[in-house]
């Protein structure tokens, strides 16, 4: 699904938002088999959420309707490129409340296992040339999947994963779930397409949620020591090609001259460089430290 997000503060900070931005679903394979409409649809749903992750192109061509691919992914190439993390794969799916009306059907599908375990909502199916395909995921299902993927089963990737904090994930999830249905569906599609719009939205939510000494973030951290927000900023500075002693000296000054609120705005904006006022303070702190250290 999503393969990465841009650096949260390019040219100043590292890319702290990982490639592991939660994907909506693990999709693969093709439907078919069974001894009737109900059996075929159940088999299709299980294959879509828990089938092998190695044949995305076939999945897109045979398990999903062309309209589904166009609406959710934009085109077949993007659909085929939307990979899945095997570590987060579901183990199956259950189908309930199936209603077949000629060549269309609806059912309540529940994902079993994986990082979206328990996600539940409405799927729409369509039959063409005797084969059932997934025609739509209704908004209730998309909301449930994203709620689950930001929940307790989120597979954190090490200490550097910015989404490892459950309070930050809950904050981001709340921001996403607060969107009205049309905007929510559009945002979900952008996430599946790995688009810049999705990256920008998640970055804004992340920097609105991470704890800082400015009183924002779910925990309002920062009263003691360095806030998580400032830690991100300082790790970016330490990644510069500057001697560590100079950087550490500059950071001590910048803790007094650059506020957490300014860091939050820079992160949310995603600009290629700090605003001129902040850049001048970074330059001044660095120059002062170079002068101090060369006098020793």
Where do we find the tokens 């085929």?
80
What's residue 238's pLDDT? 84
Q: Of 280, 286, 282, 281, which is closest to residue 246 (Cα–Cα)? A: 286
What's residue 3's pLDDT? 27
Distances (CA, A) of 10 to 6, 145, 285: 8, 31, 20
What's residue 86's pLDDT? 58
Residue 114 region, left (φ>0) first, then alpha (ψ -120 to 50), else beta? Answer: left
**Integer Cα distance of 62 and 87 in angstroms:** 24
What's residue 233's pLDDT? 86
> Is there a contact between 85 and 20 (Cβ–Cβ < 8 Å)?
yes
CATH number of 37-146: 3.10.450
Domains of the chain, residue spans: 37-146
What's residue 239's pLDDT? 82
Which pTM was predicted?
0.74
Q: Of 5, 14, 28, 136, which is closest to residue 82 (Cα–Cα)? A: 28
Q: Is 261 exposed, middle or buried, given 0-12, 13-18 or 19+ CB atoms closer than 10 A?
A: middle
What residues pair up with 121 in beta bridges, in sequence order? 109
What residues pair up with 95 in beta bridges, in sequence order? 109
**Integer Cα distance of 83 and 158 in angstroms:** 21
| Residue 84 phi, psi (nearest 5) | -140, 150
Q: Which two tokens stand for residue 138?
A: 């209704």
Pairing of strands 131-137, 120-128: antiparallel
Task: Going residue by residue through the chain, which has 296 residues, state the pLDDT in tens, using 9 for 90 and above.
Answer: 222 222 333 333 333 343 334 333 433 333 333 459 999 999 999 888 876 666 778 878 899 999 999 998 888 888 877 755 555 677 889 999 999 999 999 999 999 988 788 999 999 999 999 999 999 999 999 999 889 988 887 878 877 788 888 999 999 999 999 999 999 999 988 887 878 888 898 889 999 898 776 656 555 444 446 788 888 888 888 888 888 888 889 889 998 999 888 888 888 888 878 889 999 999 998 898 888 888 76
Q: Of 83, 151, 145, 138, which is closest to residue 110 (Cα–Cα)? A: 145
What's residue 141's pLDDT? 95
């Amino acid at each position: 699904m999503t393969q990465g997000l841009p650096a949260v503060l390019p040219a100043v900070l590292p890319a702290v938002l990982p490639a592991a931005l939660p994907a909506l679903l693990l999709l693969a394979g093709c439907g078919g088999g069974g001894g009737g409409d109900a059996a075929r649809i159940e088999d299709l749903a299980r294959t879509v959420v828990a089938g092998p992750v190695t044949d995305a192109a076939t999945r897109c061509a045979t398990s999903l309707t062309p309209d589904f691919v166009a609406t959710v992914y934009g085109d077949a190439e993007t659909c085929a490129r939307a990979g899945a993390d095997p570590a987060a794969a579901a183990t199956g799916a259950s189908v309930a409340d199936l209603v077949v009306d000629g060549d269309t059907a609806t059912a309540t599908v529940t994902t079993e296992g994986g990082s979206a375990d328990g996600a539940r909502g409405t799927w729409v199916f369509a039959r063409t040339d005797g084969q059932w395909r997934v025609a739509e995921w209704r908004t209730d299902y998309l909301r449930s999947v994203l709620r689950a993927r930001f929940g307790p089963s989120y597979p954190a990737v090490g200490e550097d994963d910015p989404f490892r904090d459950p309070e930050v994930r809950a904050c981001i999830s709340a921001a996403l779930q607060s969107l009205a249905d049309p905007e929510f569906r559009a945002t979900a599609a952008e996430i599946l397409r790995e688009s810049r719009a999705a990256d920008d939205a998640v970055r804004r939510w992340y920097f609105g949620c991470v704890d800082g000494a400015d009183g924002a973030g779910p925990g309002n951290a920062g009263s003691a020591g360095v806030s998580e927000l400032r830690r991100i900023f300082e790790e970016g500075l330490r990644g510069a090609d500057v001697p560590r002693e100079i950087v550490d000296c500059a950071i001590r000054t910048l803790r007094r001259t650059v506020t957490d609120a300014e860091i939050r705005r820079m992160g949310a904006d995603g600009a290629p460089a700090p605003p001129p006022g902040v850049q001048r303070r970074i330059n001044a702190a660095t120059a002062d430290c170079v002068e101090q250290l060369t006098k020793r």
